Amino acid sequence: DTSSATPSRNGRNTSGRDSGRMFTNPAAVIGTKSFLESLHPRLARYIQLVEQTLSAPRPLDEICAAIAISSRTLSRLTRAAFNCAPGELSARIRLNYAASLLKSSSKSLPDIAEASGYRSTPHFSEAFNAHFRMRPGKYRRLQKQPLE
């Protein structure tokens, strides 16, 4: 289980074998200045570009050209830091952004799907369910419940 794992300076999970999931709340870490400074500069730039284009994800080859890196090198960097491919990292960032919108806004699911770069609400819902192991609506209800 990686839910209690913490990233090391290079972003790797320090709890041993990684199931492919990022640590508990990567949205709270990824994108922060101190975290980005701990990464390879081009990997940090990749994350920044993904975050800047959440609602309209750019093709990987276009992002690689913009940051002057080969897709193979970017793949090695994301695998070393996050144990996943660049596309999966992009999806994780987008899904964590969607989770933050579900928690903090009253936007509709189609609006959140679009803001997160998903063209269809069903596709967004399936991706969200696969990542968080619950549907977006249930996630929102659980996040909005008052603590007892």
Structure tokens at 27: 């949205």
Structure tokens at 68: 């002057």
Report residue 136: phi and psi, to 5°: -55, -40
> Mean per-residue pLDDT for 88-115?
95
pLDDT by residue (tens digit) across 40-93?
A: 999 999 999 999 999 999 999 999 999 999 999 999 999 999 999 999 999 999
- Closest by Cα among 61, 64, 78, 82 to 18: 82
For residues 110 and 96, give the distance between their C-alpha atoms in angstroms, rounded to a whole number. 16
pLDDT by residue (tens digit) across 54-68?
A: 999 999 999 999 999
**pLDDT the model gives residue 43:** 94
Give the Cβ contact number of residue 4 at 10 Å. 8
N-term to C-term CA, the chain? 27
| DSSP one-letter string for 58-104 | PPHHHHHHHHT--HHHHHHHHHHHHSS-HHHHHHHHHHHHHHHHHHH
